[in-house]
Chain A
Amino acid sequence: MREVIIIGSGPAGYTAAIYTARAGLKPLLIASSVEAGGELMKTTEVENFPGFPEGLQGPELMANLQAQAERFGTEVLLDDVIEVDLTGDIKILKTGGGETFEAKTVILSTGAAYRELGLPREKELSGHGVSWCATCDGFFFRERTIAVVGGGDSAMEEAIFLTRFAARVYLIHRRDSFKASKIMVERALNNPKIEVIYNSEVAELHGEGKLTGVTLRDTVNGSTNNLDLDGLFIAIGNDPRVWLVENQVELTPEKFIKVDGRSSRTNLPGVFAAGDVIDPTYRQAITAAGSGCVAALDAEHYLQSH
């Protein structure tokens, strides 16, 4: 029986691991078999994580967090939790690798998964011009014409990053202003390779075996027009990853895990949640890390009184 098991390996999960490990609780962190490190594994330069004045690469930040967690005795397992029973005093977790674990407390930090446009043929064209990972795929679009869909910081970051390769980058956004931070919007608007298409959404994907373009629909007057493209990068946000626990843990109306006030306590005793899976608002590496710390302290407190 473990004192604490942490599910997820982004900034929230690793921070919870650092704190619970330093408290002598020997946490097991189940990192996922292929998404270990979480969303930051797909980013490049992280400039806003405090304590790194020159910035650092997302994957490097995650490697640092893992090393720090392991230094204090965290055990990291590269596997996927596929089934849980969190309702009893003893929490039971099963992994894709066929192992079963028991724990007194569980910290859920499963993060969020990228959102799809929901268009027909989106799956078929994924990896054939439609992409969710600018850092992975930008390289293949040298001197090509591509577009980024979205209006948040991720969309700005991707569009700016992609100008290193592409001849032209359209930024397609359904509103007439961006919700991204001011510094990112300014960088995007000042980039001569980026052209913003406001009040537009992608209505249709074109191409056989490979993306050749899209139909854009004007969100104000409904008119449509075609845009020829070699690549389309989708950055329209994320949805909290709750499928594992949604039949046991109470969710908010927006399908985030519901926690009690400023704490990480879910409706189930001994079950705590942290990071993007509870956060519809801020979703930063540093807020996720802070939230992982809260969960660790809450779990520690719970173990002292049970």
Chain B
Amino acid sequence: MAAKNVTTASFQADVLNNAKPVLVDFWAEWCGPCRQVAPVLDAIAAEYAGKIEIVKVNVDEEPALAQQYGIVSIPALQVFQGGELVKQMVGAKPKPVLVAELSEFLA
């Protein structure tokens, strides 16, 4: 299942008010490493469906969100919990590395 697309309008409901931790993948079509990491994120989302939600923000379509969260490198992976930004990562990483970095949210 492809990750849900989040917009400025839905960010509050989908991310900040979410009961589960949410990993937001800031990405763009023209970013090769974003395309490389997308299937890895899909796999993590499927495997840990009850623990974490993974959504996408297209920075071309949502420049205001990207600016608000200080994105200057993509893929940028930001984890929100209880409405707070609690973890930031940048760059495509292999699945075992991402799972290890996200371990506190996947347990």
Contacts and interface: CB of A to CB of B under 8 A. Distances in A.
A136 B94 contact: no
Q: Sort chain B's interface into a size bin.
A: 20 to 34
Secondary structure at chain A's binding surface: helix, strand, loop or mixed? Answer: loop
Contacts, number: 82
Contact of A133 (B33, B60, B70): B33
Interface in B6-60: 28, 30-37, 39-40, 59-60
Contact of B91 (A36, A59, A80, A127): A127
Interface string A186-213: 0000000000000000000000001000
Contacts of B73: 126-128, 131, 133, 136-137, 140
Contact of B90 (A33, A43, A126): A126
B40 A139 contact: no
Nearest to B94: A33
Given A34-B92, A34-B93, A139-B59, A129 B36 contact: no
A135 B74 contact: no
Contact of B72 (A35, A59, A137): A137
A127 B37 CA distance: 16
Contacts of A42: 32-33
A165 B95 CA distance: 32
B32 A58 contact: yes
6 contacts: A35-B92, A96-B94, A96-B95, A128-B73, A136-B73, A140-B66
Given A136-B74, A137-B72, 19 more contacts: A33-B40, A34-B95, A35-B36, A37-B36, A44-B30, A58-B32, A59-B32, A126-B91, A127-B73, A127-B76, A128-B73, A136-B28, A136-B31, A136-B34, A137-B73, A137-B74, A140-B59, A140-B73, A231-B72
Interface of A: 32-37, 41-44, 58-59, 78, 80, 96-97, 126-129, 131, 133, 135-137, 139-141, 210, 231
